[in-house]
Structure 1
Amino acid sequence: MLIQFSSSLFSRPELSATAIAAALVLLAPMKVEALTATFEDLGLDGTPPGEFIDPPTSGGSFVSGGVTFLNDGSYGGFSASTTSDTTTAGFTNQYSNITGGGAGGSDAFGVASAFSPVELSFATPQTVVSAEFVNTTYATLSMLNGDSFAKQFGGPTGNDEDWFLLTIEGLTGAGATTGAVEFYLADYRFADNSLDYIVDEWTNVGLSSLGAVSGLRFSVTGSDVGAWGLNTPANFAIDDLVTVVPEPGTAVLLGLGLVGLARNARGSRD
C-alpha cells in the first residue's frame, strides 16, 4: 500500500516535530525476528520414559529459544522434560503432562512448579505472541480423583464450584507489571456440570496484550486452599513460547532526525 502526504502537512504549525516523528515511526517498515522456545534444543532424550532437566542441580536456569527459564529451588521454578507418563498419580510423576508429549506432537516441553510465582526472562525487551499450556499429569489426576492433600474437583456431587487459574504477568526490566492474562486450567463453576473441564490438551494462549516485556511471571491460584496455601498441585506445562524482537526501519532514524531539525529551527527563530 502506498501512502502519500501533502507537503503542507509538515508545515502546519499545530503539528509538533515530535508528532511528525512519531507518525513516521509508526509508518516505518518493521523487520521482526521471531523466536520460539520449544525445549527441543536442550538435548533431552525423547525415548520413553523420557528424561528431565532439574535446574537447581544444573545452575538454577536453562535457556531455550533465547528465553531464560528460572528456578530458585524452593518450591518454584521451571524444568524441561520429555517424560510421558499420563497414568501415574502423585508427586513422583511431576515432570509429565497429561497429553504425554510436547505441543504439536513434539517430545520436549517445560514444567513449572509454581507454589510461589515463577519467572522467565529475556535478554532484551520483546513482545510475547503466545504460548501453549496444558495441565501436568500430577495436577490433572489430583483434580479428577483427589489425593491425600487435595480434594476432588466438584466434590462427591460434582456441584462444588472449584477452579484452577494460571495468571501470566508481563514484567519490565525494573520489575513493574505491564499487564496480566488469565487462563483457567480447570473450571467447575458452571451451573451445568457437563460444562466443567480440566484442560487436557495443549491450548494456545495469546500474550501480545502484555506489550514489550523483559520477562514473564506465572502464578497459580485455586479454590482448594488450606492452612499452608493451595492444596491442588501448583504445576503446569508450557511449550512453544513465541516472541518477536522488532528491528525498526530507517524511517525511525529519519523521525529522530526531524525532531532535531525542528528543535534547531525553533532555536534559530528565538
Structure 2
Amino acid sequence: MKKYFYLLALVCATGFLASCSEDDGPEEPNYETVDFEGDYWNALIDPNQGTGKLLYGESGMGFTEDNGVYEWTDETTKLHSKLNESYGSWAYWNGGVAVSNYHCDIANGSPTTQLSLPTGTAAHSGKNFVVAYGYNDGGWDSCPVIDFKDGVARKIKGLWVTNNSYFLNSLSNGDSYNSAATEATFIDVTFEGFDAAGLSQGKVKCHLQDGKTSLTDWKYVDLSSLGAVNSLKINYEFSDDQKNSYGFSAPAYVAIDDVQIYK
C-alpha cells in the first residue's frame, strides 16, 4: 500500500496526471469577452435607430462640436469606438459602431431599420450587439474604427459577425441604390489592424455575400494573426455589380458581437 501511494505521488509530481486534486477546475480563458451587455451598454442604444439624437445629435444633422459625441469604452479591456468626424460634423453616417438590440423582418430592412438583425436572429450572446457602418472604396473614407481608449496596443483574439436586415433585403431584392446579388456577386468585410504610428499590421477577410448566398448566421472571425494592434479599421471588398457611379452601393453594415481580447 505504501508503494502504491509513493507511485501516485510521483506521477502527480511529474505531471503525468491531468489533475490530481478534486479542487482543480477548468482553466480560465486567457482572454476577456466584450459582450455589450448591461446598463452601461443599454443606455447607448438610440431610441430611434434611423435618425436618433444619440447618433445624429439634437438637430438630427450631426454634432457640430466634439462635445457629447456618441462613443463607448469597455471598462475592462478599454475597447473603444467613437463616431467619425467629417468637415466639422460627427454623425453615424460618417462611420461608426452603434450598440443595438433591434430586430425586424428582412423585408423591412432599410435605412430606417439600419441597426436591426432579422427577426428570429438573436444576438450571439445576451440581447445586445453592435452594428458597424462605413467604408472606403477609394473615395470618401468613412470606415468605422475600433481602438483602445488608453492607447495601449492589445491582441484581439477574434469576434463574431453577421448581416443586418437592411443588407439582406438589399442583396436579396435590390433597392433604389443597389442591385440584387447575382451568381458573380461577392462582398467581404475586412478587418485591418494598425499600430500607434498608423502602419498596417495586416488584414483579415470574412465573406458576407457569396454569389446569391448571404451570411445569415453568426460567423467567427479569427483576428489573432494581426498581433497587438492599437486600432482596427472595418472596410469591404466587393464585386463590380455592387457599385454605382458613386462607389460601393450595397449597405455597408456588419453586426458584431462578443469581441475577444487577450489579457
Same fold (TM over 0.5): yes
Aligned length: 203
Q: Give the partner amino acid of 2:95.
A: G
Give percent identity, aligned residues only. Answer: 24
d(CA) in 2 for partners of 1:179, 1:237: 21
Tell me the alpha carbon deviations over residues 140-198 of structure 1, each in whole angstroms, 9 at most, x when there is no partner: 110011111111101xxxx4x0111101011101111101001111111xxxxxxx520
Structure 1, unaligned stretches of length 5 or more?
3-30, 189-195, 246-270
Partner of 1:119: 145
Q: CA deviation at 1:56?
A: 4.9
Which of 218, 221, 227 aligns to 2:234? It is 218
d(CA) in 2 for partners of 1:32, 1:43: 23
Which of 173, 181, 185 aligns to 1:153? It is 181
8 Å CA contact 2:69–2:82 kept in 1: the answer is: no
- Structure 1 stretch 112-121 or stretch 203-212: which is displaced more? 112-121
8 Å CA contact 2:81–2:147 kept in 1: the answer is: yes
1:177 aligns with 2:200: yes
Partner of 1:23: none
1:38 to 1:171, Cα distance in 2 relative to 1, 3 A: same
1:107 to 1:51, Cα distance in 2 relative to 1, 3 A: farther
1:232 aligns with 2:230: no
- 3-state SS of paired residue (2:204): strand
8 Å CA contact 1:37–1:66 kept in 2: the answer is: no
**Structure 2 length as normaliser, TM-score?**
0.70
Which of 76, 97, 107 aligns to 2:95? It is 76
d(CA) in 1 for partners of 2:105, 2:158: 25
Q: CA deviation at 1:55?
A: 4.4
Q: CA deviation at 1:232?
A: 0.6
1:86 aligns with 2:121: no
Q: CA deviation at 1:34?
A: 2.5
d(CA) in 2 for partners of 1:225, 1:43: 34
**Structure 1 length as normaliser, TM-score?**
0.68
Which of 198, 210, 221 aligns to 1:187? It is 210
Partner of 1:136: 164
1:37 aligns with 2:34: yes
Structure 2, unaligned stretches of length 5 or more?
1-12, 15-27, 58-67, 85-90, 136-141
Q: CA deviation at 1:117?
A: 1.4
Considering fraction of residues, name the structure with more helix.
1
1:60 aligns with 2:70: yes
d(CA) in 2 for partners of 1:243, 1:225: 34
d(CA) in 2 for partners of 1:132, 1:234: 17
Q: Give the partner amino acid of 1:81.
A: S
8 Å CA contact 1:187–1:197 kept in 2: the answer is: yes
- 3-state SS of paired residue (2:197): coil
- 3-state SS of paired residue (1:97): strand
Q: Give the partner amino acid of 2:217.
A: E
Which of 62, 74, 96 aligns to 2:116? It is 96
